[in-house]
């Protein structure tokens, strides 16, 4: 039975990690520090939808992707898949849902077992989750390979015989061979040559349309996310700071952090925005700043930002922003920003 509502739903989801105490901490009876990798996230992904998740390294994107698949359990909040609370499932019920939720990993070099051939690699999920005859299994493997532009000729080959792009195609075939409904694409092109990235992004977009897949598409590259996603969620230090339809977020980003990310896309900053360089590293998640976590890097920060954390609030239909001054940032494309560090546009 198909439940009404979103296919994947995260409500107030958090994941905190305790950092191991040093000897000095133990001697001083200091409690273990906690890292808030994901902190109070609400997201929903519809059937067949691609939600892009963007943010700098270490902001919690990959942890969120694993929480959505119950590869990790949340510290708080609920994750539902097709209406089912994943935390409530025992091993057998979870195993029955696994074929419907899959992941494409970032690194096609590390994610394929070098001692297995393509038939064994792509066939492994079928071995674990489907009762098929050898002939049926092989037919499913060949179909999945054909979806990604490979075929029978590649069955007996090993990962080292393929280029990076081809290896990622094998990883995608492995994720799709069980005919999932939902796939977390975790930085699927960031380890590839730029020349190959567009092919893999196009492939993932085509497969989504043809197979009716829903994606959580994780990337640090806003240009890639904007190309494939129906909506974009921007993450900063474990929290969603902007969420909206791709067109709205790209045309009129309201959060200063989104604006900085967008201005780093060459096609955008050359045409519409002065380049805004984010200065400094993101703050440590061990000791996040009080108030708005972005305030040490934000050119708009005022006393209110240093004292009070802004909540994600809807500004327009489906477009929500966590910024005290989001409604005054109305036209970021033609109205130059107070620079974090503005540099001239490329001619």
Give the binding site for ligand SF4 (CB under 6 A): 255-256, 292, 294-295, 298, 300-301, 305, 310, 323-325
Q: How far apart are CA 61 and CA 186, in angstroms?
A: 8
Comparison of 210 and 331: residue with beta carbon closer to ligand SF4: 331
* Residue placing its CB nearer to ligand SF4 in the complex, 140 or 295: 295
Contacts of 279 (CB under 8 A, 6+ apart): 297, 340, 341
Strands (E), the chain: 8-18, 34-45, 50-54, 76-81, 84-85, 101-104, 182-186, 214-219, 231-236, 239-245, 275-276, 313-316, 319-321, 342-343
Name which of 231 and 295 has its Cβ closer to ligand SF4.
Answer: 295
Q: How many CA atoms lie within 13 A of 141 on its CB side?
A: 24
Minimum CB separation of residue 300 from ligand SF4 in Å reads 4
Q: Is 101 helix (H, G, I), strand (E, B) or coil?
A: strand
- By beta-carbon proximity to ligand SF4, the closer residue of 105 and 294 is 294
Residue with Cβ nearer ligand SF4 (216 or 260): 260
CB of 338 to ligand SF4, least distance (A): 10
Q: How far is the CB of 242 from ligand SF4 (least distance, A)?
A: 10
**What is the Cα–Cα distance from 260 to 248, expressed in whole angstroms?**
16
Cβ 310 to ligand SF4 shortest distance, Å: 5
Shortest distance (Å) from residue 256 CB to ligand SF4: 5
Distance of closest approach, residue 214 Cβ to ligand SF4, in angstroms: 30
Cross-strand pairs, 231: 51, 245
Q: Which is nearer to ligand SF4, 111 or 258 (CB)?
A: 258
DSSP for residue 259: H
Spatial separation of the C-alpha atoms in residues 175 and 184, rounded to whole Å: 9
């Amino acid at each position: 039975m198909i439940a009404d509502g979103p296919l994947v739903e995260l409500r107030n989801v958090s994941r905190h990690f305790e950092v191991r105490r040093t000897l000095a901490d133990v001697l001083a009876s200091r409690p273990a520090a906690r890292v808030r990798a994901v902190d109070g996230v609400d997201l929903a992904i519809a059937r067949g939808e691609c939600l892009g998740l963007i943010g700098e390294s270490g902001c919690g994107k990959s942890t969120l992707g694993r929480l959505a698949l119950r590869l990790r359990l949340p510290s708080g909040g609920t994750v539902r898949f097709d209406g089912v609370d994943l935390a409530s499932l025992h091993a057998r019920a979870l195993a029955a849902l696994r074929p419907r939720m899959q992941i494409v990993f970032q690194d096609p070099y590390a994610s394929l077992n070098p001692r297995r051939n393509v038939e064994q690699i792509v066939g492994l999920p079928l071995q674990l989750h489907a009762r098929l005859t050898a002939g049926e299994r092989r037919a499913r493997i060949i179909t999945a390979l054909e979806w990604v532009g490979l075929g029978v000729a590649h069955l007996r080959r090993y990962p080292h015989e393929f280029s990076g792009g081809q290896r990622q195609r094998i990883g995608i075939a492995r994720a799709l061979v069980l005919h999932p409904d939902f796939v977390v694409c975790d930085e699927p092109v960031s380890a590839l040559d730029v020349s190959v990235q567009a092919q893999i992004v196009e492939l993932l977009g085509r497969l989504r349309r043809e197979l009716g897949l829903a994606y959580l598409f994780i990337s640090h590259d806003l240009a890639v996310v904007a190309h494939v996603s129906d909506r974009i969620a921007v993450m900063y230090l474990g929290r969603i700071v902007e969420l909206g339809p791709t067109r709205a977020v790209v045309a009129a980003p309201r959060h200063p952090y989104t604006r900085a990310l967008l201005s780093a896309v060459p096609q955008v900053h050359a045409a519409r925005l002065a380049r805004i360089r984010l200065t400094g590293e993101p703050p440590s998640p061990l000791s996040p700043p009080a108030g708005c976590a972005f305030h040490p890097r934000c050119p708009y920060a005022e006393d209110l930002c240093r004292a009070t954390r802004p909540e994600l609030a809807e500004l327009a239909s489906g477009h929500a922003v966590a910024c005290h001054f989001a409604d005054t940032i109305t036209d970021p494309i033609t109205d130059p920003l107070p620079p974090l560090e503005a540099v001239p546009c490329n001619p």
